């Protein structure tokens, strides 16, 4: 074999080794830090990036889509290897996703969805089945109340997939029970402060909650705020008014252990690992990836809340 061929082969091997050793740079546009779940999600992604030697450029959009779009444009300008977006709402993403595609930068959607017809604008979406979360919360409540319940609903962020789909799933089940209905529904924007504020207003409008059987909250953070409002209205949350929610954050397990809340559907915050798996495979040339990778979570009640809290507190 000619010496030049041996050298070029060695050079190619060395180049390949050095490239794989080069840190992958990934831009991550996160919604914000509006809930305990969101914070766990961010921390989990950062820890996973650290573990894998990935250079993570993290942007917190404070729940504003314009900040997310700015961050994605900045990632494109910096020439990152891949972009992850946890979209605050479903609409308004097509232009910036097309810019990423033109720049040949793969995009992974995490958690909530983007409403784009052209599915080639992103590599995959990794998320829980929010409709199923709503169904499970509703079925638990119907089983608990023998299908006889007047319900207040705290909706998540308007236009967010989690709010749209949890509402859809919950209503699908409630529709089967003629003696149950949602009597009032309003957005608490997924935050504890707004959840308390909106619950205070709903209780005032509903005779201080007399005759209300349950609160259905699209996330634990709003439910925890609402629990304060229920107490200040002179009612016992968890008893006079049942509380059912989604996320499974430690504070909510504590509330269930204290008898102030009744059930939650846990939402997996560990989306970093599956996202990095897909991105690393893609960067190595693997083009086979499902358009949706679904995570799952269990429904938890007061029965196991104390032991589950002990496992989660301080994590």
Count residues contacting ligand GZL (CB under 6 A)? 14
Closest separation in Å from C-beta 127 to ligand GZL: 7
Cβ proximity to ligand GZL: between 84 and 233 the closer is 84
CA distance 62 to 67: 8
In the numeric block, the tokens 């996973």 are attached to: 48
DSSP state letter for 92: S
- State which of residues 26, 34, 61, 125 lies at the interface with ligand GZL (CB under 6 A): 34
116: Cα within 13 Å, side-chain hemisphere: 21
Q: 124-128 and 150-155: which strand pairing?
A: unpaired
Binders of ligand GZL among residues 209 to 238 (CB under 6 A) are: 219, 221
- Report in angstroms the alpha-carbon separations of 192 from 29, 41, 206, 217: 23, 17, 21, 11
Cβ proximity to ligand GZL: between 213 and 222 the closer is 222
Closest separation in Å from C-beta 249 to ligand GZL: 8
Task: Kindly give the interhelix angle for 220-232 and 36-52, rounded to the nearest 10 degrees.
Answer: 150
Cβ proximity to ligand GZL: between 235 and 273 the closer is 273
CA distance 122 to 167: 26
Cβ proximity to ligand GZL: between 37 and 122 the closer is 37
Q: Is 118 left (phi over 0), alpha (psi -120 to 50) or beta?
A: beta
Residues paired with 215 in a beta bridge: 152, 243
Q: Binding of ligand GZL at residue 192 (CB under 6 A)?
A: no
| Choices 21-29, 35-43, 46-54, 304-312 (CB under 6 A): range interacting with ligand GZL | 35-43
- Report in angstroms the alpha-carbon separations of 6 from 2, 20, 183, 195, 204: 7, 21, 77, 68, 82
Binders of ligand GZL among residues 150 to 189 (CB under 6 A) are: 162
Contact code string over 43-82 relative to ligand GZL, x by CB under 6 A: ----------------------------------------
Cβ proximity to ligand GZL: between 162 and 244 the closer is 162
- State which of residues 246, 256, 275, 305 lies at the interface with ligand GZL (CB under 6 A): 246
Cβ proximity to ligand GZL: between 24 and 187 the closer is 187
In the numeric block, the tokens 């033109």 are attached to: 102
For ligand GZL, the binding residues (CB under 6 A) are 34-35, 37-38, 111-112, 128, 162, 190, 219, 221, 246-247, 267
């Amino acid at each position: 074999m000619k010496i030049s061929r041996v050298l070029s082969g060695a050079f190619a091997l060395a180049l390949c080794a050095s490239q794989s050793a080069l840190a992958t740079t990934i831009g991550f546009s996160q919604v914000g830090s509006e809930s305990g779940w969101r914070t766990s999600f961010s921390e989990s992604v950062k820890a996973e990036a650290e573990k894998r030697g990935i250079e993570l450029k993290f942007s917190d959009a404070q729940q504003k889509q314009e900040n997310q779009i700015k961050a994605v444009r900045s990632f494109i300008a910096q020439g990152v290897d891949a972009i992850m977006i946890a979209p605050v709402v479903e609409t308004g993403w097509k232009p910036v996703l097309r810019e990423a595609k033109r720049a040949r930068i793969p995009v992974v959607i995490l958690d909530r969805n983007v409403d784009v017809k052209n599915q080639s604008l992103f590599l995959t979406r990794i998320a829980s089945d929010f409709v199923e979360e709503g169904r499970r919360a509703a079925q638990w409540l119907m089983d608990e109340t023998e299908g006889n319940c007047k319900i207040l609903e705290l909706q998540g962020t308007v236009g967010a997939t989690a709010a749209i789909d949890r509402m859809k799933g919950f209503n699908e089940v409630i529709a089967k029970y003629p003696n149950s209905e949602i009597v009032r529904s309003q957005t608490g924007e997924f935050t504890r402060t707004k959840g308390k504020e909106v619950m205070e207003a709903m209780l005032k409008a509903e005779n201080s909650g007399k005759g209300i059987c349950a609160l259905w909250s699209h996330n634990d953070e709003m439910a925890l705020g609402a629990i304060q409002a229920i107490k200040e209205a002179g009612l016992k949350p968890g008893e006079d008014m049942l509380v059912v929610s989604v996320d499974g954050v430690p504070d909510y397990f504590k509330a269930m252990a204290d008898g102030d809340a009744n059930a939650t559907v846990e939402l997996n915050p560990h989306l970093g690992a599956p996202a990095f798996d897909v991105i690393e495979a893609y960067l190595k040339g693997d083009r086979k990836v499902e358009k949706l990778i679904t995570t799952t979570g269990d429904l938890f009640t007061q029965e196991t809340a104390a032991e589950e809290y002990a496992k989660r507190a301080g994590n």
